[in-house]
Amino acid sequence: MLTIEETQKWLRNLGKVYTIEELKNLQTLDLSYMELTYIPDLNLPNLQTLYLYDNELTIIFCLNLPNLKFLSLAHNKLEKISNLNLPNLETLDLSHNNLTKIPVLNLPNLKTIYTNDNSFNRIEYPRLN
């Protein structure tokens, strides 16, 4: 049973709207079907899965999510991707976009990349020394 003070505190917080930054322990975030034209700054250190499926994204520049393992950017209008700081990313879905080349990205743990239904005219391979 709650005390009167605990009940009042619970009722005050009932209608509180949280910002994404307050959700530090969030592990999965689904922003699909939101008609996003850019990715907002996400300061989510524990995020592991991010769905950005079916938005209006055209460019991804400077995405910094060090613990992210899965990223879906499918069904957008992506033309360019660069400056991703995703050292733990294992799966990247770039399917159904407007990419003309597979971007060269530094993703050391990447195991799977989906690229079907794009407009590729060339594939660039990283230079091996």
Domain-wise residue ranges, the chain: 26-123
Question: Count of residues for the chain?
Answer: 129
What CATH topology corresponds to 26-123? Answer: 3.80.10
**7: confidence class by pLDDT, cuts 50, 70, 90:** low
Which helix (H) or strand (E) segment is 6 a member of?
Answer: helix 4-14
pLDDT at residue 104 above 80?
A: no
DSSP, res 96? S
* DSSP per position, 7-69: HHHHHHHHTPPPPGGG-TT--EEE-TTS--SSPPP---TT--EEE--SS---EEEEEE-TT--
Confidence of residue 101 (pLDDT cuts 50, 70, 90): confident
